[in-house]
Amino acid sequence: MSDKIVVVTGATRGIGRATATAFARAGYRVIVTGRRAPAVEAVVGELRSAGLAAEGEILDVCSVDSARCLHDSLAERHDHIDVLVNNAGILPEATATGTVNFAHPGAFTETLMTNTFGPVNVIEALLPLVRRAPAGRIVNISTEMGSLTEQRNPESAYYSMVVPGYQASKAALNSITVGLAKSLADTAVRVTSVCPGFVATELAPAAADAPTTPEQAAQVVLAAAESPEVSTDGSFVGAQGAIAW
């Protein structure tokens, strides 16, 4: 059995699936999580058929009870978690219909429930197991679109993009990274927000032609999780290094 254990949320497609594969190939035992059993089983089966270590767990990140059940299930088999990757994320504003003045109320709420409350639910449930690791890591998948600096910079490629719910959810997630890192300062756990780039996924129609593949994005996530640099703790990083808040 692999000694290193990683939990990846939203691991049944896109960046999450590629991240699960990258960690498995790097020697981790991967806990593949998702809301739908058939999708979870498909990824686990694919990894195992390649001779890689993988287990599947059903998880709805929006549910506190689901996150607690995940902890209880994992604790029965494992005494620690080395890496937690909070990847599960949505962008319903990209396809929401109807007239809005600024933000679609339903899409805004749904986005924050998954992208912000979701990671908090999972962190709260699994942190005891992460703290038992020799050097635990929590990686929150964010985006440069959530950078307040980039949103205010006319020279930024993201300046013209106004997706209120998604951007607010990721800015809040970045704040959670900072707060969590400070609360764990006297432990061996490091926390990092990571922007994997503009990735070709099913997140939004515009992402179909994105220049970064999920596999390339996964390498950014893996590198952040395994970085020996203490400076990455409580930081916001991408493929090219530090990103302004």
> What is the C-alpha to C-alpha distance for residues 70 and 85, in angstroms, rounded to an integer?
14
Written as six digits, the tokens of 135 are 């050097």
Structure tokens at 213: 């593949």
Q: What is the distance in angstroms between the CA of the first residue and the CA of the last residue of the chain?
A: 39
Is 158 considered catalytic here?
no
d(CA 11, CA 182): 28
Q: Which of 28, 158, 159, 166 is catalytic?
A: 159
Closest Cα partner for 32 from 189, 120, 52, 51?
Answer: 52
Q: Report residue 115 as tokens.
A: 């992208």
What does the alpha-carbon distance between residue 15 and residue 5 come to, in Å, rounded to a whole number? 18
Is 217:196 a contact under the CB 8 Å cutoff? Answer: yes
Triad 75, 234, 16: Cα angle to 5° = 55
Treating both helix axes as pointing N-terminal to C-terminal, what angle do 164-183 and 105-112 enclose, rounded to 10 degrees? 20
Strands 241-242, 235-238: pairing is: antiparallel
Identify the CA nearest to 46 among candidates 4, 13, 86, 81: 13
Give catalytic residues, as residue numbers.
159
